[in-house]
Every structure is written in structure tokens, then in C-alpha cells.
């Protein structure tokens, strides 16, 4: 029997991330929601990112003292109140005005890091200026290396703590739903335009008075006549450099004195190579199912990567996390923290900055209760003995 879920629009009544997803879908135009939700090709990786958690079952301990539970997590010498970061996602101004700033401020208030995407709709200097924020910056390697160098200089001048290089997007993924929803780049089909007319709240928030937001950190990369959303969408993909390799990481390591992370690695061998190249952190990721179809999930290789790199770097994971139980499973397998993408974007779309805060609060409560039900009071007590792997 299929039981009814929450069908309203009040983000405060959402009991989980899935509720926020449904609220976001009702608020957003179809082409915007599909941009956030969709994966590559037939979306096998997208589905696997959720089903992989079913492979791990908890083995709880009872008759233990599980009074106050603590989720505090040290990352790069700072202690954060829970093992989370808001990961880099692009074009957030299409969900709500100043979407990047709202995410950053929610992260600041929750005491967790925020990672700004280089294809954000807010200038990196504005994010770095958010008082009290642990700010990290994600970059792509573009063909124009002088532009990459200029981004590094801007990050240093602005005071970012870390740079994150995305490694799995040197070739742009085949996102068919994004193509289907537009007759030309950033020009929705007639059906999508008609659906857009049913979203006056979104239009007044996002489109008025200047139209779709632009990519504020890419002006020096784009020709002046291509700096609008439509022009940039045609330029950015071809600018990604498919020759990205370890020599580029060594070059960047020489340029950047702060913490350096690589995002997009899944191979244990590559994880070891990253550490050997002086990388401070690794984010196991399949780009949320938006790049290679039929890809492994980070959860498939997390334990082996941890065994290879040990404590030589910080180890993060993303892709598919929707529940506190998911996060606890990742911690038990060796992750230091989880980076959130769609989970906090659904909160942003459903309720702006308070919606993001609500999403983080839901996950925190789920983590606390799961930790206690496992018989522990602190994350450090978790290891692989908490889990049994199902054999299908």
C-alpha cells in the first residue's frame, strides 16, 4: 500500500529531505527542477547512489549509556558541530535570488564549511566576506590556464581556506533532460514556458528585474557578448580541459599555499596518488550521478580508500546522501565528513536560507538518534563493525 506523503508547501512541515524535494518541485519551474534533480544518460548512477545504502545494515548495541550524543568533527584543525559540509553546486541563483549567499549563511549558522562553485551566481569575494564562515572554493581546470591562475589569486586575496579541484568533469556528462527542456541553450521549450507561467512566485524572486542570473566568477573567461546565461552555457562546456592530469595538480600545488582537495576520485589507486602529490583532502564523488553512467558510488570504494590513505589526508564523500543514516554509514566506513548537494538545494528551493537550515536540522536529528540507537555517544566510536553488508 502506498501511503500518502506531505503534499503542502510549508518547508517547516517537512519531516525529511524527500519532503523538501517535493516542496521544491512544486515551487520550481519544470526545467529548473530537472536541472537539479537529473542525472546522466538513463540515470543508472543516480539510482545507484541511493540504492547502495541498502547494502549496509546496522548491527546495534543495546544496554549502553547513550545519554547526550556528540557529532563534533575535526576538519583541517577546526572542530565543527557535525560531519557535514555544503558542497559546490552551480547556478544556485536559479533556485532563489542570492542562492549561494543563502547557502553560505546557513552553513555559517550551522558551523559547517561551505564550498562555493566556480559556476556560482555570486562573486567569490562576497562569499569570503560572510563573517564566521569556513569558506572553501571549487574550481574547474579550464583550457585557459591564465584564467585558472587568476582564480587562484582571487581566492588567496579573498581569504579562502581551501581550493577544491573537480576532476571528473574534464568531459561534460550527457544530461539528456537538460537538453530536452530547451529548444536552444537556456531557451525553454514551449511546454516549459507555459509551465513557467504557473510559477509567479519564482519569477518575481529570480527573474525580476534582470532576468536569469549570470556566472559572476567567469567574466574574465567569457567574451563580453557571452556573459549572459545563454552565452555562458555555450562556452563553459567546451572550455573544460580534457587534458587534465597529475602534472596540473603538481602545478597547482606550487601555486596554492592553502589546503588543496581533489573531488571526483573513486579509485583507491588514484587516492594514493593524490596524497603522494601533496593533496590535503579527497572527496570521493561521482558528481551526483551527473557524469559517468553506470559508475561506482563513493560508498562502493570508501572502505578500501580509507585503508589505502589512512590518516594522511581528510577523506570526504558525496553523491546520494539524503538521510542521517546514510551519513552514519559513511562515517563507519571511514569518511571524515559528507558533502551535501541536492539535500540542501531542496531546502534552498523550498524555503530559502531557513529551508537550508531546516534540512540541516533534520539530518542532525537523524544522525543523533541513529548514533544512540547504535549504542554510541560519539562519532569516533563508529567503525565497520557497526555494519553488516547484505549479499543480494
Q: Is the peptide bond before 209 cis (omega within 30 degrees of 0)?
A: yes
Catalytic choice (48, 287, 358, 376): 287
Catalytic annotation on 287?
A: yes
Q: Strand pairing partners for 142?
A: 240
**Hey, which residues are catalytic here?**
287
Amino acid at each position: 500500500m502506498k501511503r500518502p506523503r506531505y503534499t503542502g508547501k510549508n518547508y517547516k512541515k517537512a519531516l525529511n529531505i524527500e519532503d523538501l524535494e517535493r516542496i521544491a518541485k512544486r515551487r520550481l519551474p519544470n526545467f529548473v527542477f530537472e536541472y537539479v534533480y537529473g542525472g546522466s544518460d538513463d540515470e543508472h548512477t543516480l539510482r545507484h547512489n541511493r540504492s547502495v545504502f541498502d547494502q549496509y545494515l546496522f548491527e546495534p548495541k543495546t544496554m549502553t549509556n547513550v545519554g547526550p550524543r556528540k557529532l563534533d568533527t575535526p576538519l583541517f584543525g577546526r572542530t565543527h558541530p557535525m560531519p557535514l559540509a555544503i558542497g559546490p553546486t552551480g547556478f544556485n541563483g536559479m533556485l532563489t535570488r542570492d542562492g549561494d549567499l543563502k547557502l553560505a549563511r546557513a552553513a555559517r549558522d550551522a558551523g559547517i564549511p561551505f564550498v562555493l562553485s566556480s559556476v556560482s551566481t555570486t562573486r567569490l569575494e562576497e562569499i569570503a566576506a560572510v563573517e564566521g564562515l569556513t569558506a572553501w572554493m571549487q574550481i574547474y581546470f579550464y583550457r585557459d590556464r591564465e584564467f585558472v591562475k587568476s582564480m587562484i589569486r582571487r581566492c588567496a586575496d579573498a581569504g579562502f581556506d581551501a581550493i577544491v579541484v573537480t576532476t571528473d568533469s574534464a568531459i561534460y556528462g550527457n544530461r539528456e533532460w537538460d537538453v530536452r527542456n530547451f529548444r536552444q541553450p537556456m531557451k525553454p521549450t514551449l511546454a516549459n514556458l507555459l509551465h513557467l507561467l504557473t510559477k509567479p512566485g519564482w519569477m518575481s524572486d529570480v527573474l525580476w528585474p534582470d532576468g536569469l542570473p549570470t556566472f559572476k566568477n567567469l567574466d574574465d573567461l567569457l567574451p563580453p557578448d557571452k556573459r549572459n546565461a545563454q552565452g555562458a552555457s555555450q562556452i563553459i562546456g567546451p572550455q573544460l580541459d580534457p587534458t587534465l592530469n597529475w602534472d596540473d595538480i603538481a602545478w597547482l600545488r606550487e601555486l596554492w599555499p592553502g589546503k588543496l582537495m581533489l573531488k571526483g576520485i573513486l579509485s583507491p589507486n588514484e587516492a594514493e596518488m593524490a596524497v603522494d602529490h601533496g593533496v590535503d583532502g579527497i572527496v570521493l564523488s561521482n558528481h551526483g550521478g551527473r557524469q559517468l553512467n553506470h559508475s561506482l558510488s563513493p560508498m562502493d570504494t570508501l572502505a578500501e580508500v580509507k585503508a589505502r590513505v589512512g590518516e594522511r589526508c581528510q577523506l570526504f564523500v558525496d553523491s546520494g546522501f539524503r538521510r542521517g543514516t546514510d551519513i552514519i554509514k559513511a562515517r563507519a566506513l571511514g569518511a571524515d565528513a559528507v558533502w551535501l548537494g541536492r539535500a540542501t538545494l531542496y531546502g534552498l528551493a523550498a524555503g530559502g536560507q531557513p529551508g537550508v537550515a531546516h534540512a540541516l536540522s533534520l539530518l542532525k536529528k537523524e544522525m543523533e538518534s541513529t548514533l544512540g540507537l547504535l549504542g554510541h555517544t560519539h562519532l569516533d566510536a563508529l567503525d565497520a563493525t557497526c555494519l553488516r553488508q547484505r549479499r543480494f
